[in-house]
Amino acid sequence: MNKKEVKIIGIVGSLREKSYNKMAILAAKDLLPDNSTLEIIEINDIPFFNEDIEKQGLPKSVIDFKNKLVEADAILIATPEYNYSVSGVLKNALDWASRGRLLPLRGKPVGIISASMGMLGGARVQYHLRQICVALDMIPINKPEVFIAKAHEKFDPNGNLIDEYGKKVITELLDNLITFTRVINKNID
């Protein structure tokens, strides 16, 4: 019996065109198991959260973002570490998604990847992001933790992940994310 496809929405917490986190999420897209898809959505058009704007009506970019999250069975976030924490653009997008009656992140499994030029590979940001996920009632996948340290050495000039260990842990994270998503969502089994 064929299982229904697991739809994953990917979010990159960096706006930089040659972001290592964008490269990491693109690597994840190439490593997806069968019966799953990964659509990467942009968050660069989402305005800074402002309750005055919210009261006037949600901007189209926010509506589109929330609708994509609603369609998702699971979320994959690739995030840089800015001053030991999440980037402002990622936090802003998550803040918009946490507002109103439509709460598309509630109960969603989330996998987290971080890539950094530093020795820790973004470890500190992941712990901060996990706290945010608790507040949003998301369900972070705990293992494996995917930290791509010294990211400038792990990707080729074309942005391809060349680190075999990195590929291995991303594959394991995706497998765990999909398996858990199927366990909690009987509609896709």
Domain assignment present for 1: no
Structure-token pair, residue 119: 């020795």
The count of domains in the chain is 1
Domain assignment present for 81: yes
Q: For the domain that residue 105 is a member of, what is the CATH number?
A: 3.40.50.360
Domain assignment present for 150: yes
Domain that holds residue 158: 6-188
Q: From first to last of its 189 residues, what are the pLDDT tens digits of the chain?
A: 457 899 999 999 999 999 999 999 999 999 999 899 999 999 999 999 999 999 999 999 999 999 999 999 999 999 999 999 999 999 999 999 999 888 999 999 999 999 999 888 888 999 999 999 999 999 999 999 999 999 999 999 999 999 999 999 999 999 999 999 999 887 776
